[in-house]
DNA sequence: ATGGCTTCATAGTGAAGA
């Protein structure tokens, strides 16, 4: 079973790229973030014609998440049940017996922004909810744009980024808190190339210079056996790419 | 260089992303 996650930075702009990626990679599940699409305008039939089912939860301009799957997505949940939030950042469903949790974790803007405590509160609610969810669903995968680079090796310039948003100690502690629930970073279960990232700044030729961060992750509960995990840089090389590229993992 | 690009909403510029 192949699971993947991709922050597409507007599904409208990236729809053809998503359809091509589905056709070429044949994932069983693809989680999307930053669809930036109201549900009424969601390109459902186009994805159905590609042979997939979709559940989604979006809004105008910002945020928006979706789960694209070959098999039906059951018991769909929208949002964090323990955190009142107007922003559409979470959708969860069971696919082929695996609880799929698709998240677009807040960016935080900067450590002295009002959005930073919102991010930390959001992460605390996520962890509290997942603790219960793992009891209900031992086979659970948490996929998405975490907006956290967990370690210095996930950052192209750890000195410049030290203490900054996406790399700060409270954010990294929140990431470790998820791991303490028994969730494992699928990417780090395997040998990986150094300087592997999932996001590169649009500006200053960030991708060409590999000025990136690894902030998109797949965390897997211990009941799931993972056989491979990789970042697919190919979509980042296309015309008009998202600033993020897909991450995928294979389950036994 | 508190910048740079890209998207969206809008109709000239501003917010937000990371």
The pair of three-digit structure tokens given for residue A72, joined into one six-digit string: 């039906």
- A240 CB and strand B closer than 7 A: yes
Rounded to the nearest 10°, the torsion over CA A110, A111, A114, A120 is 110
Residue whose tokens read 């945020």: A63
Q: Which residue is nearest to nucleotide B6 (CA to C1')?
A: A202
Strand partners, A6: A32
- What whole-number distance in Å separates Cα of residue A77 and Cα of residue A84? 14
At A142, which helix (H) or strand (E)?
strand A140-145
**Residue A105 burial (10 A CB sphere; 0-12, 13-18, 19+):** buried
pLDDT digits (tens, 9 = 90+) for A1-46: 999 999 999 999 999 999 999 999 999 999 999 999 999 999 999 9
pLDDT digits (tens, 9 = 90+) for A157-183: 999 999 999 999 999 999 999 999 999
User: What Å value separates CA A165 and C1' B4?
Assistant: 18
Q: Which of residues 72-101 of A touch strand B (CB under 7 A)?
A: none
Q: What is the 3-state secondary structure (H, E, C) of A78-95?
A: ECCCCCCCCCCCEEEEEE
CB atoms within 10 A of CB A62: 14
Kindly name the residue from A52, A56, A104, A137 that is annotated as catalytic.
Answer: A104
Q: What is the pLDDT along chain A (252 residues), one digit of tens a residue?
A: 999 999 999 999 999 999 999 999 999 999 999 999 999 999 999 999 999 999 999 999 999 999 999 999 999 999 999 999 999 999 999 999 999 999 999 999 999 999 999 999 999 999 999 999 999 999 999 999 999 999 999 999 999 999 999 999 999 999 999 999 999 999 999 999 999 999 999 999 999 999 999 999 999 999 999 999 999 999 999 999 999 999 999 999
Q: A243 an active-site residue?
A: no
């Amino acid at each position: 079973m192949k699971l993947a996650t991709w922050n597409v930075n507007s599904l409208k702009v990236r729809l053809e790229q998503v359809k091509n990626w589905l056709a070429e990679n044949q994932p069983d599940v693809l989680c999307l973030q930053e669809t930036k699409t109201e549900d009424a305008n969601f390109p459902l039939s186009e994805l159905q014609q590609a042979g997939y089912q979709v559940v989604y939860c979006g809004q105008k301009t910002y945020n928006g998440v979706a789960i694209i799957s070959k098999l039906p997505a059951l018991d769909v949940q929208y949002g964090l049940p323990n955190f009142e939030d107007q922003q559409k950042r979470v959708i969860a469903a069971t696919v082929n017996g695996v609880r799929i949790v698709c998240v677009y974790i807040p960016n935080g803007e900067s450590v002295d922004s009002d959005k930073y405590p919102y991010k930390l509160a959001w992460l605390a609610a996520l962890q509290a909810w997942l603790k219960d969810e793992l009891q209900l669903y031992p086979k659970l995968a948490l996929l998405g744009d975490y907006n956290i680079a967990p370690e210095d090796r996930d950052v192209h310039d750890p000195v410049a980024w030290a203490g900054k948003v996406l790399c700060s100690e409270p954010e990294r502690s929140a990431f470790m808190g998820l791991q303490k629930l028994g969730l494992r970073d699928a990417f780090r279960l395997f040998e990986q190339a150094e300087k592997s990232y999932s996001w590169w700044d649009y500006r200053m030729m960030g991708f060409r210079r590999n000025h990136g961060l690894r902030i998109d992750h797949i965390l897997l509960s211990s009941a799931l056996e993972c056989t491979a995990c990789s970042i697919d840089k190919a979509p980042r090389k296309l015309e008009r790419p998202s600033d993020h590229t897909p991450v995928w993992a294979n389950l036994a």
